[in-house]
């Protein structure tokens, strides 16, 4: 067996085409969806992600606003920007790029975002709603993984899914989404006992630990579908390249399908951000949202 490569770029392009249609429909009603992106500091990867978010927004017709603050900006300055955006009715989505500099509390900043504009789905109101199965704004990377899984497997009900990693951005919301799709879900983490054996029982493996090529063929049940969320830059033969949390070469002969890195989950993150921005704009202009 050799695993099918799940093409995240192609799926992201389909999502973006759907979003462009939704944006056009909103504009026909006089609503121009708008996304504000806040970047604090000069982390090179974050700068690339923010640039790509602004580019994708333009491509689908979403108006974007960029706020760049220096690495020495205070929490109060970041909060002032967020509060201004909360109060601006022409802005539908607010995103603060993570990580923030160490002297700023991510929780404090994320909690300051109006939950209705929280297109990252990180506010506790949206986190709680997700765990209760309410239709809330959902973190982009896990939402993208779900789209790839549904396109690959169809109905996920009854599948045993193992999520490796328990971060707030990926692992925990991923587990909640899989549960909402009627999977049996196991979450593995650094204190798990015999993680390999547990992972080896999974029909679906979502790897989100941030450790290059940690998961090899021994962890994977033959025929499993593997979603690799890791984006790790390593030096290989004197050259810098990106690898996932899964040893893809080793796992491909065992799995039935796997996401590549790059070109798998990564492009879906930005596509789902555009999707969330349109959802937020639609909800903010629906009659019930104004009651």
Ligand X SMILES: Nc1nc2c(c(=O)[nH]1)N[C@@H](CN(C=O)c1ccc(C(=O)N[C@@H](CCC(=O)O)C(=O)O)cc1)CN2
Catalytic positions, written as ranges: 53, 97, 120
| Residue among 101, 200, 210, 262 that touches ligand X (CB under 6 A) | 262
Q: Does 180 bind ligand X (CB under 6 A)?
A: no
Please tell me the distance from the alpha carbon of residue 213 to that of residue 195, in angstroms, as a whole number.
Answer: 15
Contact code string over 157-176 relative to ligand X, x by CB under 6 A: ------------x-------
The reply, when asked if residue 213 is annotated as ligand binding, is: no
Using CB under 6 A, which of 57, 94, 95, 246 touches ligand X?
95
Residues 106-135 within binding reach of ligand X (CB under 6 A): 120
Minimum CB separation from ligand X for residue 51, in Å? 11
Order of all β-strands in the sheet with 93-96 = 63-69, 34-40, 93-96
Q: Which residues contact 176 (CB under 8 A, 6 or more apart)?
A: 130, 131
- Provide CB contacts within 8 A for 39, sequence distance 6+: 46, 47, 50, 66, 67, 68, 69, 97
- Helix/strand/coil for 116: helix
Residues 137, 279: contact at Cβ < 8 Å?
yes
Classify 53 as helix, strand or coil. Answer: helix
Looking at beta carbons only, is 50 or 181 nearer to ligand X?
50
The two three-digit tokens of residue 38, written as one number: 């806040």
CA torsion sign, 42 to 80 to 122 to 103?
positive
Residue 145 beta carbon to ligand X: minimum distance, rounded to whole angstroms: 12
By CB under 6 A, which span of 56-64, 70-78, 256-264, 275-283 interacts with ligand X? 256-264
Q: Is 270 in the site for ligand X (CB under 6 A)?
A: yes
Q: Which residues are annotated as a binding site for NADP(+)?
A: 165-167, 231
Give the binding site for ligand X (CB under 6 A). Answer: 48-49, 95-98, 120, 140-141, 169, 231, 242, 261-263, 266-267, 269-270
Q: Which residues are annotated as a binding site?
A: 165-167, 231
């Amino acid at each position: 067996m050799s695993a099918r490569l799940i093409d995240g770029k192609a799926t992201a392009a389909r999502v973006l085409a759907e979003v462009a249609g939704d944006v056009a429909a909103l504009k026909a009603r006089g609503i121009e969806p708008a996304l504000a992106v806040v970047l604090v500091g000069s982390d090179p990867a974050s700068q690339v992600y923010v640039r790509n978010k602004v580019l994708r927004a333009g491509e689908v017709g979403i108006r974007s606003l960029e706020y760049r603050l220096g690495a020495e900006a205070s929490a109060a300055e970041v909060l002032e920007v967020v509060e201004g955006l909360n109060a601006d009715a022409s802005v539908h989505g607010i995103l603060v790029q993570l990580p923030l500099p160490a002297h700023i509390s991510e929780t404090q900043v994320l909690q300051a975002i109006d939950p209705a504009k929280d297109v990252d789905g990180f506010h506790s109101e949206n986190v709680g709603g997700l765990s209760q199965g309410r239709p809330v704004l959902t973190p982009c990377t896990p939402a993208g993984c779900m789209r790839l899984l549904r396109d690959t497997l169809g109905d996920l009900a009854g599948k045993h899914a193992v999520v490796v990693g328990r971060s707030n951005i990926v692992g925990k919301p991923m587990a909640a989404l899989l549960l909402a799709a009627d999977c049996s879900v196991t979450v593995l983490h650094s204190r798990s006992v015999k993680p390999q054996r547990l992972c080896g029982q999974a029909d679906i493996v979502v790897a989100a630990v941030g450790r290059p090529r940690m998961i090899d063929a021994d962890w994977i049940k033959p025929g499993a579908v593997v979603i690799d969320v890791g984006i790790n830059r390593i030096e290989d033969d004197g050259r810098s390249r990106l690898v996932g949390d899964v040893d893809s070469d080793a796992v491909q002969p065992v799995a039935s399908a796997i996401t590549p890195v790059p070109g798998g989950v990564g492009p879906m993150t930005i596509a789902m951000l555009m999707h969330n921005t349109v959802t937020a704009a639609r909800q903010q202009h629906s009659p019930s949202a104004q009651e």
